[in-house]
Copies of this chain bind each other. A is one copy, B any other.
Amino acid sequence: MRSELKKQRHRQLIELISTNPLMTDEEIAASLGVSMSTVRLDRGILSIPELRERMRTMAEQATSRLKSLRAEEVVGELLELEPDGWALSVLNTTRDMAFRHTNLVGDYYIYAQAATLAIATIDREMVVVGSARLRYRRAAFVGERILARSKVGTYKGDKYVVSVHTRVGDREVFVGRFVVVAKNSEELA
């Protein structure tokens, strides 16, 4: 059957385009040893868009990906704050926070929310994270609303211990104990 060859060629075509989406029909034709007409027929059958269309969608995805790890998004939204006591923030997760090609939210987004919340809880001018212990309990998924709750524990002088519990619904996602340090703005380096 010649239709066997055809199916084989279709598989090759899909393989070819997925590994190198930037080939013109001419190059594909040469690579598969058939005419451009055939390549175009095949692309039509398999509904693979033309090169420019493929480039366009890739370029669009590229721009949207460049916007990742923007500070405003990372911090989440502060809902409640009792200075030097406790605070609550929510982070609405989006696809570009995903880890690899999964639906899982990258751990550093969860960290960023928790760490910035810990700092925001302390009512001093200049506060930085000194050290921390973290535990990730369960995964959070893209689209979920992540709630973080901080509570100030003990403090000695300029050092405060702030614990942060992060959850999605009633699922505990993350627990962290942050030691944050209030600095006089001179002593930085």
Contacts and interface: CB of A to CB of B under 8 A. Distances in A.
Interface of A: 20-22, 52, 54-56, 58-63, 69-71, 73-75, 96-97, 99-100, 102, 104, 106-109, 111-112, 115-116, 126, 128-136, 138-139, 188-189
A55 to B, nearest CB: 4
B128 A104 contact: yes
Contacts of A75: 69, 108
Contact of A131 (B108, B133, B188): B133
A1 to B, nearest CB: 35
Copies of this protein chain in the complex: 2
Given A55-B56, A60-B22, A129-B136, A100 B116 contact: no
B133 A132 contact: yes
Given A108-B111, A132-B134, A139-B189, A71 B96 contact: yes
B188 A102 contact: yes
A177 B162 CA distance: 20
30 contacts: A20-B63, A22-B59, A22-B60, A55-B56, A55-B59, A58-B59, A58-B63, A69-B75, A69-B100, A69-B109, A69-B112, A71-B96, A73-B99, A99-B128, A100-B126, A102-B126, A102-B188, A107-B129, A108-B112, A108-B116, A111-B112, A128-B139, A129-B134, A130-B136, A131-B133, A132-B132, A132-B133, A133-B133, A138-B189, A139-B189
B70 A96 contact: yes
Nearest to A112: B108
A67 B22 CA distance: 14
Contacts of A189: 138-139
A104 B54 CA distance: 32
A136 to B, nearest CB: 6
Contacts of A131: 133-136
